[in-house]
A and B are shown apart, each in its own frame.
Chain A
């Protein structure tokens, strides 16, 4: 009993400190920090008040509270990974658009340069 409490507190403390540090160094956007902040709070709550978990397990009819914990944890990770894949796809589309624009801008520059250069040599 005792060890689960300390483990839970250590775990959530590590997450919270890491969060704070990443935010301080501007390496983490707030929208992701919020998710992890609530995860850390949840872990902390369950560690300090184990009754929360067993109560919830009783409520939904899961015999072993720890199974509920694992189920929720893996579901959460799955959704989060999916969310990351989604963000990745969006970013790829954005960088693709930027790459196309960069190529087109260089081409426009080439065209402009070609139009200007003959004029500069003519006055002589």
Chain B
């Protein structure tokens, strides 16, 4: 039996790019279910999602990616999905890579519980960042690589695939704070015993335009990244639930 896959698309004011993203997922992966989490948008995001045949979870106000994703993971658990995928609504994640990410989920055959679609991993890369920002990303990547005991190059990527074990962790703990949805959630997953790996992908140019990058902003990003990482490392997470559905023996 093929695994039931749910694609979760957190969307905040993405009416212009959402339709194309949904169609993209549908044409490349016709068998997956699609849930758009409308994170308190003020535009027609929810209508666009419904018109394009996606399930729509409308949050009453903006919670941030962390809130949207935790709602998505909870839906995935309650409806018994085997795999949950996060794909951003702005079109930068190419769903054509999804099958290659799903392939790596197979824990028995050297795969992992959480698979990241990562830039800077070899696939020809047009993505340019400033020095400070790159420094921050390197710091995050090195630290998390050490924790996960595997080479990770792009830990802030929002393109990720989770199996039941990781879904269970994320449904209980998915921080809503800055960088919490990417870096901290990965730390939580690793500390809860999930394995992480990555698959090289090429990100597309955002349809909404590139985020502005001044040196000041880059420095701020670095500072916040350090704080977020340090907090993630020292924080205690109460009752990270052990996956009750399956018990795998490591060896």
Interface set of A (CB-CB < 8 Å, partner B)? 96, 99-100, 102-104, 106-107, 110-111
Asked if A99 and B57 sit within 8 Å, CB to CB, the answer is no
What per-residue 1/0 map shows which CB atoms of B169-193 lie under 8 Å from chain A? 0000000100000000000000000
**Nearest residue in B to A92 (C-beta to C-beta)?**
B176
Query: Given B35, B55, B60, B70, which contacts A102 in the complex, CB threshold below 8 Å?
Result: B60
Main secondary structure of the interface of B (DSSP, over half): mixed
Listed by A's residue number, 25 A-B pairs whose Cβ atoms lie within 8 Å are A99-B60, A99-B61, A99-B63, A100-B59, A100-B63, A100-B67, A100-B71, A102-B60, A103-B37, A103-B38, A103-B57, A103-B58, A103-B71, A104-B57, A104-B71, A106-B57, A106-B58, A107-B55, A107-B56, A107-B57, A107-B58, A107-B75, A110-B55, A110-B56, A111-B55
Q: B74 at interface (Cβ–Cβ under 8 A)?
A: yes
Please indicate which of the listed interface residues A96, A100, A107, A111 has the most CB atoms of chain B within 10 Å of its own CB: A100
Q: Which 3 A-B pairs have the closest CB atoms?
A: A100-B71, A103-B59, A107-B57
Contacts of A100 in B (CB 8 A): 59, 63, 67, 70-71, 74
Separation of A99 and B40 alpha carbons in the complex (Å)? 10
Separation of A28 and B162 alpha carbons in the complex (Å)? 45
